[in-house]
Amino acid sequence: MRKESLEQINACRSAHRPCVLFRDLDTHESFVLEPGLHVDEQDAELHELAMQALRTDRCVRREVRGQDWFVQPFNAPLRLIIIGAVHTGQYLASYARSCGYDVVVVDPRQAFASEARFPGVTLNTEWPDYALEVLAPDTRTALVTLTHDPKLDDPALQAALRSPAFYIGALGSRRTQAARVERLQEAGFEEAEIARLKAPVGLDIGARSPAEIAVSIMAEITATLRNDLSADDAD
């Protein structure tokens, strides 16, 4: 691979633009394809391979007219928006970064959302509804509310339910969740929309401590991303 290809891939990744690396494993020829750019010039079949690799987030090896192509996708980074700069959020931010997510923590309470508590994490101290207007969750975004305070959690959940976020979770007991569902219904959300909400949040692994609860949440996000979303495109 040429150094220029490496630099192009890294530039795409830092700009949150998907790209795909093609390598011919016989001739060692390689190039980077950015979907939508120069489509006319690109071979349609190679372009379709690129889109398949990005869609499934899996490498593809395919012979196209005698060339043995290895097709490696680089999707825009996954993103996790955490509402509530609380103790569990500190662990969750750390685990999510280890799993490759860009993490944003939203909490207007500046005593919570401090650099000292979240070193190196992007902090946003706007109210969640304003924050989410700017953050605009997309299909590569997960969102979790952790504050227990409807004033902060509800506006975030409502914005998330109107977005294509792939995972929406809310911390709180079954009783809290029942009350939350009533409020969402009053706000005009349909049953099917509310059903997207993972609550109580996290896989049932008997978690007790904040760190363990963060493990259960990260596991549920991963299961949603890898099992549920990939099911349609599985080989």
Partner 1 sequence: MAELDILDTAQRWLAEGRDVALATVVETWGSAPVPGGSQLLVDGQTNFIGSVSGGCVETAVIGEAEEVIRTGQPRMLEYGVTDEMAWEVGLACGGRIKVYVEPVR
Q: Is 205 helix (H, G, I), strand (E, B) or coil?
A: coil
- Considering only the C-alpha atoms of the chain, give the largest distance between any 2 of them, rounded to a whole number of Å: 63
> Does 97 engage in binding with partner 1 (CB under 8 A)?
yes
Tell me if 2 contacts partner 1 by CB under 8 A: yes
Angle between helices 210-223 and 87-98 (to 10 degrees): 40
CB contact at 8 A, 186 and 128: no
Query: Beta-carbon neighbour count of residue 205 at 10 Å?
Result: 12
Q: Which range in 55-63, 136-144, 178-186, 215-223 contacts partner 1 by CB under 8 A?
A: 55-63
Beta bridge partners of 23: 30, 70
59 forms part of the interface with partner 1 (CB under 8 A): yes
Candidate list 47, 51, 70, 210; residue touching partner 1; CB under 8 A: 70
Give the range of 22-30, 130-138, 167-175, 194-202 binding partner 1 by CB under 8 A: 22-30
The answer to the question of residue 196 lying near partner 1 (CB under 8 A) is: no
Question: Before 155, cis peptide (omega within 30)?
Answer: no
Does position 72 interact with partner 1 (CB under 8 A)? The reply is: yes
Binding site for partner 1 (CB under 8 A): 1-3, 6-7, 9-10, 13, 23, 25, 28, 58-59, 61, 70, 72-73, 97-98, 100
